[in-house]
Amino acid sequence: MIELVLAFQDKDGKYAEHAGVVLASVFHNTSVPVNVHILHDETLTEDNKQRLLDLTTDYNGMIQFYHITLPEDMLQVMKGIASIGIWTEACMYRLLLPAIIPVDKMIYLDCDVLVNLDIEELWQSDLGNYELAAAKDQGIMGIPQIISSKGLNPDHYFNSGVIVFDLNRIRSHENWYEETLNFLQKHPDTAMPDQDALNAVFGGNYLPLDQRFNWFSATITDYDFNNKIVHFAGEDKCWKEDSSGWKLYQYYLDLTPWGKRQSGKTAENSVPKWMPAEAPRIEMHPVQVNPFQVNSFQLRLAPALPALALAPASAPALPAAAKRKIRKRKTKSMKRYRKRMYGTASKTTMRRTVKRVPQAKPVSKKRSRMKGRRTKTVLVSFDSLKWIRTGGGQGYYEHQGVEINPALFLPARTLN
């Protein structure tokens, strides 16, 4: 059984719906049962809990809810981090997974991804001696100086939207929690606190994943979402009507209780869903982990149904005009993202704002060497060239006491 965790705050009641779409995309394309763990706070309503419960039991899975209260020492550190206001406290929940959920291995997903492949492929990744597996970040490499200023290696910097955790190995990592807090205390100006902290603690011992397991939507120019986990990072959220992932989001939304309520669909007339022949019954007991307040419970499974093999959903084709419009919107989206994160939309300005490390003076190029000078042309007669090439020049160097290789002087050519 695959262990999957999502974490979110639901102040406006919409992120529970987004989480439901993520789960629907997983269930629809995955052929084995999934045990879902939801990390939340008091903003998750009982009505939305029931919808997540109904969605999971429809696919013969299991779901558990964890009401999280962050420890006091982390709350104190977070007070000095301005970017927490841009994100939410829920982004920090993933930093506490080893202490919250009593399993050995787990997949973490952000709520702005769509899983358009069988997630068992990701689950089967052999972590070996690594503490986690993640894909390299595709959006941060344009500004390596900002990453380096935090003591991180931009060449190995990973994105935290899709991660496979080896929780047992992390628990054996001494002081992992203290190292996390120390990094956040040392770098309160971090723009992405959870991601930077994970890179600081585990960046030296992680397994790089194939890009298709965390593919940024802004880099998919052909709009081919097949066989990928598509990450709608930045401003390009798949639940926005002008997003390239809007139609695919709506497809999966129709498989959830939120979509069925809007369209009046029922389980009988909706798209078929896989059901394993028999799902194992696992008893779970309430978990109490100090200093976190955790409240989890086991949900009853739905009756088992025959399995159905379904191919991953494909994104509908878009006309050329729509593609141009989306491409233009993506460019604006990336500028807004840089403006929000780093105070400027210009890559050049971002590079200039970071103090550069002094480097050795590069070898002068012809362009800089000739700037402001006139080209001097020296004419050499054929007789002089012949004298040099036949060894006449060799006698001059020997007279100066310089040893040279006679092979350097080539025989003169005869002109017809």
pLDDT digits (tens, 9 = 90+) for 28-65: 999 999 999 999 999 999 999 999 999 999 999 999 99
Residue 15 lies in a domain: yes
63 and 195 housed in the same domain: yes
Decide which of 309, 330, 353 is a domain's last residue: 353
**313 shares its domain with 373:** no
- CB 312 within 8 Å of CB 117: yes
pLDDT the model gives residue 328: 73
Return the CATH number at 139: 3.90.550.10
Asked if residue 330 lies in contact with residue 322, where contact means CB atoms within 8 angstroms, the answer is no
- Residue 311 sits in the same domain as residue 373: no
Residues 324 and 398 in one domain: no
- The runs of H, that is alpha helices, within 9-157 are 15-29, 46-58, 72-78, 97-100, 120-123, 144-148
Domain boundaries, position 89: 2-353
Q: What is the mean pLDDT of the chain?
A: 76
Residue ending a domain, among 322, 353, 384, is: 353
Task: Please state the domain count of the chain.
Answer: 2
Give a yes or no: residue 404 inside a domain.
yes
**SS3 of residue 356 by DSSP:** coil
pLDDT per residue as tens digits for the range 209-244: 999 999 998 888 888 899 999 999 888 899 999 888
Lowest mean pLDDT among 147-156, 178-187, 239-248, 381-390: 381-390
User: Does residue 31 sit in the same domain as residue 94?
Assistant: yes
Is 415 among the domain residues? no
Number of alpha carbons in the 13 Å side-chain half-sphere of residue 77 = 23
Does residue 72 lie within any of the structural domains?
Answer: yes
pLDDT digits (tens, 9 = 90+) for 249-280: 999 999 999 987 665 544 444 433 333 333 33
Do 123 and 229 lie in one domain? The reply is yes
165 phi and psi, to 5 degrees?
-100, 135
Q: Tell me: do 197 and 220 sit in the same domain.
A: yes
Are 274 and 385 part of one and the same domain? no
Residue 101 lies in a domain: yes
Same-domain status, 401 and 287: no
Distance CA 32, CA 54 (A): 18
Task: Let me know whether 374 and 270 are in one domain.
Answer: no
Residue 342, C-beta contacts closer than 8 angstroms, at least 6 positions apart: 143, 146, 191, 350, 353
pTM, rounded to two decimals = 0.66
Domain final residue pick, 353, 377, 393: 353
Asked, for residue 170, whether it belongs to a domain, the answer is yes
On whether residue 335 sits in a domain, the answer given is yes
